[in-house]
């Protein structure tokens, strides 16, 4: 029986550090978190590249641009009208509360900041936590589709999947069994994503998974 920390170490040794999140600035990371909602990252890259070409990875420019124009620029990311509105809602919030800079969020208590983000239209639990962890550097565990796949494929999560409580349950599970460490949460989530992308797409590849068929690679199931 391994602990979650053991599993993290196994993944880190097998796959190497990921150094996430891809992005040159906190604002770019936050924009990526919104753009990647239910969307393949390859499409998000195109949208972010378009934003960069138009100088929109800048809080001032992003605040001023017309929503309909922004929508066309981020079009490759899909759901582009709604995501343009979400980016604008976020940037308005950023200016209203933090003078347009994510750096100003650093000294705010994590739970309070999370509540603020969740109050922004278009920012749900995963997007909020991605911003908190990867753009602001807060120690909070990100739960996403990969996290669920990882848990299910390794027999760690067997509860019925309901939308109302599952996210918080899974997040609590990770955070209860790991030290509160931003770098650890950052790498662990990034490693889960790589693991799923590389080994969990097709059943055959699971044979090569670093955690593989090793039944001992299981930790206590969620209660």
Partner DNA sequence: GACCAGGCACATC
Partner DNA sequence: GATGTGCATGGT
Nearer to DNA, 75 or 218 (CB): 75
**Hunting for tokens 């068929």 — which residue is that?**
213
Does residue number 37 form part of the binding site for DNA (CB under 7 A)?
A: yes
Alpha-carbon gap, residue 62 to 52, rounded angstroms? 11
Nearest of 97, 96, 95 to residue 113 by alpha carbon: 97
Alpha-carbon gap, residue 90 to 163, rounded angstroms? 24
Does residue number 68 form part of the binding site for DNA (CB under 7 A)?
A: no
Does residue number 202 form part of the binding site for DNA (CB under 7 A)?
A: no
Among 2, 5, 15, 46, binds DNA (CB under 7 A): 46
Does residue number 134 form part of the binding site for DNA (CB under 7 A)?
A: yes
Among 63, 159, 165, 221, binds DNA (CB under 7 A): 165
Among 162, 176, 215, 216, binds DNA (CB under 7 A): 162
Cβ(71)–Cβ(77) below 8 Å = no
Cβ(95)–Cβ(27) below 8 Å = no
Structure tokens belonging to residue 73: 């620029």
- Classify residue 124 by its DSSP letter: -
Among 10, 92, 93, 122, binds DNA (CB under 7 A): 122
**Segment near DNA (CB under 7 A); pick from 93-101, 125-133, 174-182, 210-218:** 125-133
* Distance from the Cα of residue 33 to its chain's centroid: 6
Cβ(159)–Cβ(169) below 8 Å = yes
Alpha-carbon gap, residue 61 to 50, rounded angstroms? 14
**Segment near DNA (CB under 7 A); pick from 9-17, 61-69, 144-152, 208-216:** 144-152
Number of residues that bind DNA (CB under 7 A): 42
Among 68, 82, 111, 205, binds DNA (CB under 7 A): 82
Does residue number 193 form part of the binding site for DNA (CB under 7 A)?
A: yes
Does residue number 137 form part of the binding site for DNA (CB under 7 A)?
A: no
Structure tokens belonging to residue 167: 């996210």
**Which residues form the interface with DNA (CB under 7 A)?**
20-22, 33, 36-43, 46, 75-76, 78-83, 120-128, 130, 134, 142, 144-146, 162-165, 193, 197
């Amino acid at each position: 029986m391994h602990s979650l920390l053991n599993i993290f170490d196994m993944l880190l040794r097998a796959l190497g550090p990921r150094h996430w999140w891809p992005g040159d600035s906190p604002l770019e990371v936050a924009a990526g978190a919104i753009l990647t909602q239910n969307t393949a990252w390859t499409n998000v890259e195109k949208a972010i590249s378009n934003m960069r070409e138009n100088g929109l990875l800048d809080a001032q420019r992003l605040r001023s641009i017309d929503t309909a124009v922004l929508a066309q620029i981020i079009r490759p990311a899909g759901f582009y009208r709604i995501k343009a509105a979400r980016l604008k809602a976020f940037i308005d919030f950023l200016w209203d509360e933090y003078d347009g800079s994510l750096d100003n969020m650093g000294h705010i208590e994590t739970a309070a900041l999370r509540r603020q983000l969740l109050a922004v239209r278009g920012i749900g639990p995963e997007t909020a936590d991605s911003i908190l962890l990867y753009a602001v550097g807060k120690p909070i565990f990100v739960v996403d589709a990969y996290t669920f796949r990882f848990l299910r494929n390794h027999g760690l999560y067997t509860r019925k999947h309901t939308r109302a409580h599952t996210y918080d349950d899974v997040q609590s599970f990770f955070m209860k069994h790991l030290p509160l460490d931003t770098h650890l949460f950052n790498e662990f989530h990034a490693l889960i994503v790589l693991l799923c992308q590389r080994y969990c797409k097709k059943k055959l590849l699971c044979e090569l998974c670093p955690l593989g068929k090793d039944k001992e690679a299981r930790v206590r199931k969620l209660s």
